[in-house]
Amino acid sequence: MISTSFQSLDDVLKEFDLTMGLEVHAQVDTKTKVWCFCPISVGQAYENHYVCEICSGHPGTLPVLNEEVLNKAIRLGLALEGKIAPKINFDRKNYFYPDLPKGYQITQFKNPIVFDAKMEWDHTDSKKIIRIERIQIEEDTGKSTHHQDYSLLNYNRCGTPLLEIITAPDFHHPDDAVVYLKKLHAILKHLHICRGNLQDGNFRCDVNVSLSPKGATKLGTRCEVKNLNSFKNVEKSIIYESIRQANLLKSRGKVLQETRLFNMQEGKTYLLRTKSDADDYRYFPEPDLPSIFIASSKVKDILSQLPELPDQIKNRLQSDYGLNHYDASLISQSFDIVHYFEECVRNSSDPKNYAKKIANWILTELFRFLNEYNKEINDSPVRPKELVELISILESGKISHKQAKEVFAEMFDLKKSPSEIIASKGFEQTSDEGELKSILEKLILNHPKELEGIKSGNARMVGFFIGQVMKQTGGKANAQLATELLKKLIDQQ
């Protein structure tokens, strides 16, 4: 029995250092498989329909590398500031499993296409830097489905190209793992390397978790949790695994090296197999694929076609639109948010002046509603054009800030235009100078004591007059304009 002396991650972190390395398998978005011309099956394809002699491992067949996979691997390597190997090899990883008809997987062991890459982001006062040790090209396996007394095999997925992205053990908190995965996911999608559909298994993550006594230099024994397909599950499985290992270390003094699976429903990890080391797979150079020399002109070519990356966008948002560092970081965290923001700016009449206001509305009201309704920005019922229309109306002084927020809430709920909602709510502010002036003149005449108050420096009395104006206009007066008019009238006396 596992003792339950540790209940939470905070408990664990008081006594242990948590260390993690992440391995992501991203399915490369190509038309055909990595070694043959079988199409990649998407959605509900017939079982074993997209299979040929090569991807099902018939004797005498030979694999040929799909160049698009190589190009996309280089593209990712460059985006992550990695080094591109001048010469690459493929290796065989030997193991038996029914979903692997060849009896081995072709992967990269000795000379992967990318090495020494990195991912960094701002974290409070410092920079978080995660070293990405290598990115390798490999093939996916088939799929087994297990039933009560039989199992079914579908080889459609055999030979689907994958990029495996392997970090150094640089993570010490689940929050950092989630930030890294979200950033990597956004880059893969933005660069059209991977479709990134988590539910379809396009982007799967393995986490190696280990604990060591606080301050120890030697890392503890690690357990690998495999095939996590959501950011939330990554976080939950790390927390569960940390607590499980801490309790094992406390009660038995050691953790066994294992490969484990995360059960979503129960929020627990379960033993899949005791871990095999690299030696057990008897890696050897793939004899059917030659070494490939990567021309520097090819790398330069791919580099020249690389689009703007998140950090570059963040700098541009600051220099072009005058956003502060914090707002620019939040907007550049996802390309969808950047597109939404820039679409708003394009729709505004005075981009320089509006950019900051647009950013504020996106980061406060829009984000609040998206969160509440569990929607992504691309599905926002309030489109950029309408948000800018609302901001323009607010800036013109027709409605107050408080009213603008109410209008926004209805825009989100009812998908109506801001002017429609303002008209139906009777929100228009009175900016009629003549009307406001005559109200104020009467108020000044009838309230000499309060007027004296203002003259002798009692600023609170300004509030009294504006309050009265609001009362008489049913709350529709433009308060800013009324205040200006009041000042003018007093100065004229």
Instruction: Please give the structure tokens belonging to residue 343.
Output: 């679409």
- Contact status, residue 182 vs residue 234, Cβ threshold 8 Å: no
Minimum distance of Zn ion from residue 155's CB (angstroms)? 9
- Contact status, residue 196 vs residue 203, Cβ threshold 8 Å: yes
Q: Toward Zn ion, which CB reaches closer, 38 or 177?
A: 38
Nearest by Cα to 36 from 22, 16, 18, 56: 56
Minimum distance of Zn ion from residue 282's CB (angstroms)? 25
Minimum distance of Zn ion from residue 275's CB (angstroms)? 31
Q: Toward Zn ion, which CB reaches closer, 156 or 237?
A: 156
According to DSSP, the residues that pair with 162 across neighbouring strands are 27, 138
Q: Toward Zn ion, which CB reaches closer, 52 or 65?
A: 52
The 8-class DSSP code of residue 185 comes to: H
Q: Say which residues have a Cβ less than 8 Å from residue 132's Cβ, sequence separation at least 6.
A: 80, 82, 114, 116, 117, 118, 119, 165, 166, 167, 168
Minimum distance of Zn ion from residue 5's CB (angstroms)? 53
Q: Toward Zn ion, which CB reaches closer, 82 or 159?
A: 159
Q: Toward Zn ion, which CB reaches closer, 38 or 78?
A: 38
**CA 20 – CA 274 distance, rounded (Å):** 19
Q: Toward Zn ion, which CB reaches closer, 55 or 399?
A: 55
Q: Toward Zn ion, which CB reaches closer, 160 or 430?
A: 160
**CA 294 – CA 86 distance, rounded (Å):** 5
Minimum distance of Zn ion from residue 53's CB (angstroms)? 7
Q: Toward Zn ion, which CB reaches closer, 37 or 284?
A: 37
Distance of CA 62 to the CA centre of its chain: 39
Minimum distance of Zn ion from residue 28's CB (angstroms)? 15
Q: Toward Zn ion, which CB reaches closer, 30 or 247?
A: 30
The 8-class DSSP code of residue 172 comes to: -
- Contact status, residue 188 vs residue 162, Cβ threshold 8 Å: no
**CA 349 – CA 351 distance, rounded (Å):** 6
Minimum distance of Zn ion from residue 372's CB (angstroms)? 47
Minimum distance of Zn ion from residue 98's CB (angstroms)? 18
CA atoms within 13 Å, Cβ hemisphere of 413: 7
**N-terminal to C-terminal alpha carbon distance within the chain:** 88
Distance of CA 139 to the CA centre of its chain: 26
Angle (CA) 70 59 276, round 5° = 65
Enumerate binding residues for Zn ion (CB under 5 A): 36, 38, 52, 54-55
Burial (CB count <10 Å: 0-12, 13-18, 19+), residue 394: buried
CA atoms within 13 Å, Cβ hemisphere of 182: 17
Task: Report CA-CA distances (Å) from 255 to 80, 211, 222, 369, 457.
Answer: 34, 9, 8, 44, 74
Q: Toward Zn ion, which CB reaches closer, 38 or 225?
A: 38
Minimum distance of Zn ion from residue 56's CB (angstroms)? 7
Minimum distance of Zn ion from residue 69's CB (angstroms)? 14
Q: How many residues does the chain have?
A: 493
**CA 477 – CA 432 distance, rounded (Å):** 9
Q: Toward Zn ion, which CB reaches closer, 55 or 422?
A: 55
Residue recorded with tokens 């800018």: 388
Minimum distance of Zn ion from residue 139's CB (angstroms)? 10
Q: Toward Zn ion, which CB reaches closer, 77 or 159?
A: 159
The 8-class DSSP code of residue 281 comes to: G
Minimum distance of Zn ion from residue 66's CB (angstroms)? 11
* CB atoms near residue 349 (< 10 Å): 9
